[in-house]
Chain A
Amino acid sequence: MAGQIPLVDYLVLDGAQPHLVAQECTNCGARFFDRRNACANCFAAEFTTVPIATEGTVRAFTIVAFAAPGIPTPFVAAVVDCDGTQVRANLINVEPDAEHVRDGMKVRLATQSIGVDSEGTEAIGFGFEPIG
């Protein structure tokens, strides 16, 4: 079965409009990327799926030089503020050094191939790349 599958279920591969989604608590509005039994903020148990803005600003980053075996280094790990929702991601399509990566830089969601499995299905991951 050829085709594509997202790296994580909160990445929606929507043709030309890939985006992230979150589970939003219907009571307090807290957003979560993983499956939750109840809201960590208000304990309510009803969630609705909401899209996350695809552009944001870098709020924190590090350039990882040493990682677990099998992880290509160096890479940039970051927290991106997407219109008030904080997203964890790698910064991609940028030189991984302190001259090119800056606090507060504007970035947008981008997807990339993770690889193809034995049935020909391609896994698609995401990162954020500089705008402009």
Chain B
Amino acid sequence: MSASDEVWILGIQMTKFGKHPDLDTVDLAAQAATGALSDAGVTMADIGVLAAGNLMNASAGIGQQLQKQIGQTGIPVYNVANACATGATALRTAIMAVKAGEVDYGLAVGVEKLSGAGLLGGGGSRKEDADTWTPAGRYGAVAPIDGRIGTETMPGVFAQIGMEYGHKYGGTSFELFAKISEKNHAHSTLNPLASYQKRFTLEQIMNDVMIAYPNTRPMCSANCDGAAAAVVCNGETLKTLSLEQRRRAVKVSASVLTTDPYEAGCQVLPNVNTLTRKAAAIAYEQSGVGPSDLDLVELHDCFATAELVHYDNLMLCEEGGAAEFFNSGATWRDGSTPVNVSGGLESKGHPIAATGIANIWEVCHHLRGEAGDRQIANAKVGLAHVIGLGSACGVHVLERSAA
């Protein structure tokens, strides 16, 4: 084997997202993995590397647990954890092994059980204040700072990220952010695998329970259970496969992972812009695809306030022009750059480690012409984006097979 320039997604699967009280984490991972293998037309005997992620139990070794249920073949397992970019990181790990020429086929899996998890990011198990004030940690804090010095809750952090965009460029409002959520919930009605497939009116969204202004409950990603998995292979291997496999294979034209470069404000509010813009720029360069070539985009709308800033970061619009871009209707499924036709994280759901593969499944589904009622007609090129705080950003550009 030698280093390969081409990497293809041969098979990919996502489970239904939602509540799965009767399935454990390994069941869900197995369902996605065996589905992806069968979709690819290969078995565990063909797979040379397994990369797996399950963020909430990152030390449990989900990869090996999964092997016990679907095939212990002795191949290397990379258990990965990279916040909400865990799934994309697993996929990227498998892609790197294929690209390096170490293996012909790689399998990537992301899974999460998150139903009923509630609010993420804040001091969920906050300890009582101490009996005597004793400075501790890198801030020398005598008491927990979440809630006393700003917020660490995800809805609040991402609310500020959207508000900061408005501070810089103007044009944002509570209503604008709610309209983004209205779009994604409307899109979800066509996705049978989404956690929620309910259309909301703008009024319903704005009058729902406020979580962290301006994000109301339907403007926040839905905690749910789910898994997604993908089989990747190199170009030489693909050539040996059947016409049907070659026709359904999706080309990985760019696979990029970045972290947040230093910027003065990032120590007080995570900057999700720098690393997304950087990942997008590299992805466009690698693939030779430009933003205007994209037939659909799945981006990380963990909150409605986040979707807006990523229009700009992914260069789908001019710098500073995200509000105008959205108001033009461009990102609705009948617009010029459909965004989150799956329903996005707000309605499809966000089982953390699964998300970075599930969004690629969505794009592949359209590129293969298999998306049914929500098919974007004649889709040839798509982009999938995820971001995890800390931070990590994954961007993949995918292209339809010419076979």
Contacts and interface: CB of A to CB of B under 8 A. Distances in A.
B235 interface: no
A119 interface: yes
Interface residues of B, number: 49
A79 B265 contact: yes
Chain B contact residues: over half helix, strand or loop, or mixed? loop
Contacts of B160: 60-62, 77-79
Contacts of B151: 62, 64, 67, 75, 77
A15 interface: no
Given A41-B262, A65-B213, A68-B124, A88 B150 contact: yes
Interface in A69-95: 69-72, 75, 77-79, 84-90
A104 to B, nearest CB: 7
Given A62-B160, A66-B211, A72 B147 contact: yes
Contacts, number: 163
Interface residues of A, number: 51
A5 interface: yes
A111 B166 CA distance: 29
A61 B162 CA distance: 9
Nearest to A4: B133
A61 B268 CA distance: 12
A25 B150 CA distance: 24
A7 to B, nearest CB: 6
B302 interface: no
Contacts of A78: 150, 160
B154 to A, nearest CB: 11
5 contacts: A8-B145, A59-B167, A65-B210, A67-B119, A121-B133
Given A71-B126, A88-B149, 14 more contacts: A8-B142, A59-B167, A61-B163, A62-B159, A63-B213, A66-B153, A67-B147, A79-B160, A85-B264, A86-B268, A86-B269, A89-B150, A90-B150, A115-B143
